[in-house]
Chains A and B, each alone.
Chain A
C-alpha cells in the first residue's frame, strides 16, 4: 500500500491491515462455531457458553483494560458483559457474529463504568502483559506505563474512538454502529486522540 493521507491528514500506514491473529483480537470474525455454541447454550448447555467466554475473554479484556485503566475494572467489565450477554442471548439475531455482538456489550459496559469512575483517578495501576518489544524489560515496562498514563489523560470518548480504530481495527462504519456517533464525529475524535497522544508521549519517547 502506498503511504498517503486520508482526509484528516493521517498516514494510512497507521491503519495497516491487522494480521489474521491480530484481527481475531479485534472485532472477531464470523464463525460457524460461534453459532453452534450459541445454539447449544440456548438449549441449556452452559459448557458451550463457557467456551464462548474463554474464546473472547482476552480480546475483550484488552479493550476494557485500555479503556478503564486497571485490571480489576477490566475484569469487572468483562464479567458483567458475559452475564448480560447470556441474559440477552435470545436477542442475538446473528449468532455467527456473536463476538461482534458481545463486543458491543463490552463497549457499552465500559462507557457506563467510565462515568462511574473518578475523573482524576490514577491510571495504569496495572499494566498489560506482553513480550517486551525491544528485549529491554525495564524500559518496555516504563514505556507501557507512560502509554497507559497518556491514554488515561484522554477524554473517554477520544480514548474509545482511538482504541476501536487503531487497536481493534474497526472501520468507521463499524464504529458508528457500535457507538451511535456519526462517522465525521468519530474521525475527529480519532484525530484529536492521536494529536494528544503524540503531544503527551513525544518527550517521553525522545528520552
Chain B
C-alpha cells in the first residue's frame, strides 16, 4: 500500500465539492420543446445502414481533404480568434521618410505584409490592425534601413536580436 502522504483535509474538501456538484440541476423545459420542434421538421430517423455508408464515404473524403490541408494550411493559431479581434491603430511620426512598415508577432515579422500609410500631416504614418487579445512584440522599419521601436508603447525586454522593439498589450 502506498505510503500515506495524502492531505486528509484536502480529501474532505474534495468530497464537499463533489457533493455540491451532485446537487440537482434543472434545465429549462423548453429545451425539450425546441428539440422536438427541430425533430418534427427533420422527419423520421434515417436507416442506419445507409447512414453508415454515407458517413463512411464522407469520412473518407474528409480524410483526403484533411491530408491535403495539413500540407498547405497555415498553423491553427494563425486562423483562430478572428471573431474576438479588436481594432488597434498604430502611429509613428517619421518626417522625411518614404516608407514605413511594421513587423511583429501579428504578421510573422514579414516586412512586406503591413506597410503604414502616410497621413500627409506632420510626418505621421498610420495603420489599423485587427488583433485578438494578447501581447505582441513589434517594431517599425523605416525606409528599409532603420529599426525604430514605437515610443508610445513600453520597450520589450525580449529584444534578442539587437533591434529595439516594443510590446503591445491588447485586452
- Contact between A and B in the complex (any CB pair below 8 Å): yes
Is B36 touching A50 in the complex (CB atoms < 8 A)? Answer: yes
- Min Cβ gap B91→A in Å is 29
Chain B residues lying within 8 Å of A144, measured Cβ to Cβ, are 20
Q: Cα distance A65–B40 when bound, in Å?
A: 26
Is B47 touching A90 in the complex (CB atoms < 8 A)? Answer: yes
Q: Which one of A28-36, A74-82, A172-180, A181-189 is at the B interface?
A: A74-82
- Whether a CB of chain A sits under 8 angstroms from the CB of B28 is yes
Chain A residues lying within 8 Å of B27, measured Cβ to Cβ, are 57-58, 61, 65, 71, 74-75, 78
- Min Cβ gap B125→A in Å is 33
Is B14 touching A194 in the complex (CB atoms < 8 A)? Answer: yes
**A-B pairs under 8 A by CB, number:** 142
Is B22 touching A88 in the complex (CB atoms < 8 A)? Answer: no
- Whether a CB of chain B sits under 8 angstroms from the CB of A83 is yes
Chain B residues lying within 8 Å of A71, measured Cβ to Cβ, are 27-28
Chain A residues lying within 8 Å of B38, measured Cβ to Cβ, are 79, 83
Say whether chain B's binding surface is mostly helix, strand, loop, or mixed: helix
Is B32 touching A53 in the complex (CB atoms < 8 A)? Answer: yes
Is A75 touching B36 in the complex (CB atoms < 8 A)? Answer: no
Chain A residues lying within 8 Å of B44, measured Cβ to Cβ, are 42, 44
Is B20 touching A57 in the complex (CB atoms < 8 A)? Answer: no
Say whether chain A's binding surface is mostly helix, strand, loop, or mixed: helix
Q: Cα distance A14–B22 when bound, in Å?
A: 13
Is B20 touching A130 in the complex (CB atoms < 8 A)? Answer: yes
Is B2 touching A9 in the complex (CB atoms < 8 A)? Answer: yes
- Whether a CB of chain A sits under 8 angstroms from the CB of B67 is no
Contact string against B for A residues 53-91, beta-carbon threshold 8 Å, 1 for contact and 0 otherwise: 110011001100110000100110011001100111111
Interface size on A, residues (CB 8 A): 57
Which residues of A123-157 are within 8 A (CB) of B?
A: 128-131, 133, 143-144, 147, 150
Q: Cα distance A79–B2 when bound, in Å?
A: 45
- Whether a CB of chain A sits under 8 angstroms from the CB of B61 is no
Chain A residues lying within 8 Å of B32, measured Cβ to Cβ, are 50, 53-54, 57, 82
Chain B CB within 10 Å — which of A89, A128, A131, A150 has the most?
A: A128
- Min Cβ gap B105→A in Å is 17
Of all chain B residues, the one with the shortest Cβ separation from A195 is B10
Chain B residues lying within 8 Å of A130, measured Cβ to Cβ, are 20, 23-25
- Min Cβ gap B165→A in Å is 25
Of all chain B residues, the one with the shortest Cβ separation from A130 is B23
Is A87 touching B23 in the complex (CB atoms < 8 A)? Answer: no
Beyond A11-B11, A118-B84, A205-B13, is A133–B20 a contact (Cβ under 8 Å)? Answer: yes
